[in-house]
Amino acid sequence: MKKILSIILGMILMTANITVFTEAGIFPEHEPYGKGVGAKPGRVVWSHGKDSVNWDGNGYWWNPDNFNESTIQNMVNSAIAELGGVSSAADGWNALFANRNEKNGESGGYKPGEKIAIKANINGSAVMDDDTSGETKMSYTNPVLLKTLLISLVREAGIAPSDITVYDVSRLFPDYMTEMCSEGILQGVNFVNRQNGIADTNAPIQWSYEFSGKVNYLPTCVTEAKYMINLANLKGHSYGITLCGKNHFGSFINGNTMRPPEGANLHQWLTKNEMGIYSPLVDLMANKHLGEKTVLYMLDAIICATSEGASITGDNSKWQQAPFYNDYTSSIFVSQDPVAIDSVGADFLTNEPTVVNNNSSARNASVENYLHEAGLVSAAPSGTVYTNSFGKAADNLGVHEHWNNPTDKQYSRNLGKDEGIELVAVKIGSEPELSIEDGKITVTNATENGTLIVVFYKNGILTGVRTCKGTNKIEFDIKSAINDDLADATDLKAFYWDLRTISPLCNLLPLTLSNITDSNKIVLTVNDKTFTATLEKNETAAALKTLLPMAFDMSELNGNEKYYYMPQNLPSNAERVSTIHEGDIMLYGSNCLVIFYETFNTSYSYTKIGHIDDTSGLKAAVGSGSVTVTIR
């Protein structure tokens, strides 16, 4: 047993700093194309709730019993609030509607009686026949996610169910789905499919590039609506990937009842494997009744399929990259920027081993052709002049770029730049988490199969290993573990792994032992990145330490600092510091805690509290907006 454990630990030690997908991404690096749009321009919110899925891999993936509705409801409401930059879903919806109206030259938020159309992706249901049982292993909109989205619209946004229509005019909704999404508080929600959809012959789609195909009409449920919600799937496709842009292939009627996109002759543009060519997806993004009406783009990533025709199993729907670690994706993504959300979706899909190992088309770099066309729409690489189908040329649809790497998943706005995408991660529920407090390493939300592994080093050389297991909460006392064998250790790394699958359950925690044994040290966590800091030996620092641990939201100021007004005063002895250094922690006045992430000269006076020991990554961690900080 010891030999086996040694081998496993050796594997862990060798691979601990290697990302799941170590090779370079398939997309060439470039600066952001286009300008971010939305209440928070370029923002994409990623809500991850590990507890949202409890499927054991048997039976149909879509069975509502496989999902935790309350967790998914929390994911939806939290994502809407975060997307609007506010604290509640109700205020979030108001911010989103107000932004949509402002962009269309109107004022105010949603008004009672205005209609909303929700484009779901029901592609896997009734593909070859009129079977409405939904009994297929192929993918379609998660029924519980749809239900919770509708509940949020009714409860939080105050919209009458009868003013909401869920549609996909290329497929048939499963009976169980329409029933669960139109009962109780949702009674009156409408569903439109390929059998009852009515073409609005006054609203033909005008493509910006001439090619053969049937005339395509939008359904009346779309043209009569004031707002649109694009609820797409995050999944692979036999042509590469399919996200919000392609979701509207189910938004038109042309006489080809079973296959409208084939009747429109659209698939030819997805199979050319070229960059710099026309894309009908951009026309759909720009369309007056589709893109211009959209108040919310959402990617259903609760359980992801490797391709549109693939049967979803417990194995091929578990992802490897952090933070999934061989588990279901259990996520949703929301944005008001159609280009940004599909750019993020493309990064997740094309860098996921489970997807690309089962679908080689997902590693084809030309899948982003439409994102280049959309990001540069005012001067598209193809030379196409895209319009809103009513003669108005599109001048900006959103912003396109790619993340810095698959581990950090950072975009330009995350890195402190003024333009680009901002990916905001929101964790919901009980995910395992490593932390340190009072000389103890703690695993919260520990699982039955997880093992805490603490590895000690002396100047980079392995000196010892300790392991422990437990459920709910594991505590490891570092000081008591430093016996004669480990007394000269200088550093340690803490891992929390599932040793059955040799896979991590959360990010590693690197620490310097002096930071733990020195009582004048504190640990700051900023957006999941950990920093240690050395406190000043003064009254102010001592008073602050008595308040720890504490967590709070810090606001942005001047592009060089984050500040937080504490509810209590601290002792102060302000002095003119002349030069602020990156990583300085100071007190302004008697209760304003400030963390500086730039070095500059100043004429202001502060009380010194401490300094972050290693500021590498500090600016990226704090970002350009408000940020949550925990100090222990």
- For residue 386, give Cα distances in angstroms to 157, 304, 370, 468: 33, 31, 12, 60
219-272 pLDDT, tens digit per residue, is 999 999 999 999 999 999 988 899 999 999 999 999 887 788 888 889 888 888
Q: What is the DSSP letter of 175?
A: H
CA distance linking residue 220 with residue 253, whole number of Å: 10
pLDDT bucket at 22, cuts 50 / 70 / 90: very low
Position with higher pLDDT, 184 vs 257: 184
Position with higher pLDDT, 8 vs 225: 225
The number of CA neighbours under 13 Å toward the Cβ of 397 is 38
134-174 pLDDT, tens digit per residue, is 999 999 999 999 999 999 999 999 999 999 999 999 999 99
The pLDDT of 430-439, averaged and rounded, is: 75
The residues, ordered by sequence, that sit 6+ positions from 451 with a Cβ below 8 Å of its Cβ are 467, 468, 469, 496, 497, 498, 499
The two structure tokens encoding residue 482: 């430093």
The two structure tokens encoding residue 233: 């799937």
Query: What pLDDT score does 523 carry?
Result: 85
Helices (H), 133-268: 143-155, 175-180, 220-223, 244-247, 260-264
CA distance linking residue 327 with residue 325, whole number of Å: 6
The domain defined by 2-11+432-516 carries CATH number 2.60.40? yes
Query: What pLDDT score does 14 carry?
Result: 47
Please tell me the least confidently modeled range out of 297-306, 505-514, 522-531.
505-514
CA distance linking residue 27 with residue 240, whole number of Å: 13
The pLDDT of 421-440, averaged and rounded, is: 83
Query: What pLDDT score does 487 carry?
Result: 62
The three-class DSSP label of residue 54 is coil
Sign of CA dihedral 17, 20, 23, 24: negative
63-96 pLDDT, tens digit per residue, is 999 999 999 999 999 999 999 999 999 999 999 9
- Vertex 459: Cα angle to 458 and 461 (nearest 5): 60
Query: What pLDDT score does 313 carry?
Result: 96
pLDDT of 23 higher than 90: no
- Parallel, antiparallel or unpaired: strands 190-192 and 164-167: parallel
Query: What pLDDT score does 8 carry?
Result: 46
What 3 state SS string does 264-281 have? HCCHHHHCCCCCCCCCHH
pLDDT of 428 higher than 70: yes
pLDDT of 204 higher than 50: yes
Q: Where in the chain is the domain with CATH 2.40.100.20?
A: 518-631
439-452 pLDDT, tens digit per residue, is 788 888 887 778 89
Q: Where in the chain is the domain with CATH 2.60.40?
A: 2-11+432-516
* Overall fold of domain 518-631: Cyclophilin (2.40.100)
Beta bridge partners of 437: 440
**pTM metric for this prediction:** 0.76
The two structure tokens encoding residue 546: 């008595």
The two structure tokens encoding residue 397: 């649809």
- For residue 518, give Cα distances in angstroms to 230, 436, 515: 53, 13, 6
